[in-house]
């Protein structure tokens, strides 16, 4: 659990480089690179730099309320650098007491059929209860999580127990999985990266009838004084947001076994990775290509909370 008591300001540089074997004649890219404004975060500045060619950019909001930029490039190119520059402020979150959340059976009931009208938050949460492209609902995931959710267990306490179980029983293993690796394979090998840890936790929660969403973002690069750098720094990171009444959505990082605080910067959220991939697109030409990504998060100033 975070004990931050200061508002932190960060500068982020996210560089995505494409090197193509043959010229690309035309390209459309969908970019989720603009940090999202929410109750604990404000995006102070954001702009994109394109090298060596420019293209037409259009800003929009996706179905989940994230800022999305649509990039069209109609000039031939064999290399493309998309450099996102952002500045954000991140405020500390309350120290919610897990034992004060509703028990998980009650939450499951509110996410099922109701004879009364739903609140706006309940309607939103239902959208994150069912299967999505990278997250299946299966008994195997419910069985894995069952010991974390005994009868009458507060939903946030159960979610934190599940986070700790995933952190303890899975090994962080870069390069051993990819975006299409099945979660059943991850559960069997107990190896993966932050995307796998997050997808597995979401699958477990949804398989129990609870709501959880996938959050894409960053971690600050420099380790805190006297501590170690969190796993996932210097790259895009991912974590989980669980619906935990009466608090609403609570963000948990299973890769590092902690509640999200002021060292996490949110890009956006969706049902799973496919909804908030930082960069994806369609090209005409190009042939084989290589992609490299580099992220740097620099802390600018820290302001004590009054």
Q: pLDDT tens across 86-128, in order? A: 999 999 999 999 999 999 999 999 998 776 788 889 999 999 9
Q: pLDDT tens across 197-214, in order? A: 999 999 999 999 999 999
Q: pLDDT tens across 19-40, in order? A: 999 999 999 999 999 999 999 9
The CA dihedral of 51, 52, 56, 59, to the nearest 10 degrees, is 0
**Domains and their CATH numbers in the chain:** 6-91+277-304 (2.60.40.2250), 98-275 (3.10.620.30)
Q: pLDDT tens across 50-85, in order? A: 998 889 999 999 999 999 999 999 999 999 999 999
Predicted pLDDT of residue 43: 98
Give backbone dihedrals phi and psi of 5, rounded to 5 degrees, phi first: -130, 15
Q: What is the band of 1 on the pLDDT scale with cuts at 50, 70, 90?
A: very low
Measured CA to CA, the distance from residue 297 to residue 47 in angstroms comes to 15
The answer on pLDDT for 222 being more than 80 is no
Higher local confidence (pLDDT), 242 or 231: 242
Predicted pLDDT of residue 195: 96
Residue closest to 86 by CA, chosen among 160, 123, 127, 33: 33
Q: What is the band of 233 on the pLDDT scale with cuts at 50, 70, 90?
A: low
Buried b / exposed e along 21-48 (16+ C-beta atoms within 10 A): eeebeebebbbbbbbbeeebbbbeebeb
The answer on pLDDT for 226 being more than 60 is no
Task: Please tell me which of 121-125, 246-250, 290-294 the model is most confident about, judged by mean pLDDT.
Answer: 246-250
| H or E segment to which residue 289 belongs | strand 289-304
For residue 252, give every residue at least 6 positions away whose Cβ sits within 8 Å of its Cβ, in sequence order, or none: 159, 160, 163, 201, 239, 240, 241, 242, 258, 259, 260
For residue 261, give every residue at least 6 positions away whose Cβ sits within 8 Å of its Cβ, in sequence order, or none: 2, 3, 4, 92, 93
Record the pTM: 0.92
């Amino acid at each position: 659990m975070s004990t931050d008591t200061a508002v932190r300001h960060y500068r982020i540089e996210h560089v995505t480089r494409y090197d193509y074997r043959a010229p690309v004649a035309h390209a459309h890219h969908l970019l989720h690179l603009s940090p999202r404004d929410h109750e604990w975060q404000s995006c102070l500045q954001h702009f994109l730099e394109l090298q060596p060619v420019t293209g037409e950019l259009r800003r929009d909001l996706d179905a989940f309320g994230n800022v999305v930029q649509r990039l069209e490039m109609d000039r031939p190119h064999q290399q493309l650098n998309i450099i996102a520059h952002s500045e954000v402020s991140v405020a500390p979150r309350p120290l919610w007491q897990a034992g004060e959340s509703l028990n998980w059976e009650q939450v499951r009931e509110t996410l099922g059929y109701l004879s009364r009208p739903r609140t706006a938050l309940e309607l939103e949460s239902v959208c994150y209860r069912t299967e999505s492209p990278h997250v299946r609902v299966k008994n195997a995931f419910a069985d894995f999580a069952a010991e974390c959710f005994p009868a009458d267990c507060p939903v946030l306490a159960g979610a934190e127990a599940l986070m700790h179980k995933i952190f303890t029983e899975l090994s962080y293993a870069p390069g051993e999985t990819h975006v299409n690796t099945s979660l059943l394979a991850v559960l069997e090998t107990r190896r993966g990266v932050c995307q796998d840890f997050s997808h597995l936790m979401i699958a477990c929660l949804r398989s129990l009838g609870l709501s959880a969403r996938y959050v894409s973002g960053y971690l600050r690069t420099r380790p805190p004084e006297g501590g170690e750098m969190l796993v996932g720094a210097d790259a895009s990171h991912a974590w989980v947001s669980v619906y935990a009444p009466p608090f609403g959505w609570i963000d948990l990082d299973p890769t590092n076994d902690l509640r999200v605080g002021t060292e996490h910067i949110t890009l956006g959220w969706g049902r799973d990775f496919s909804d908030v991939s930082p960069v994806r697109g369609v090209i005409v030409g190009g042939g084989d290509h290589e992609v490299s990504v580099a992220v740097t998060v620099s802390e600018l100033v820290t302001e004590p909370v009054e």
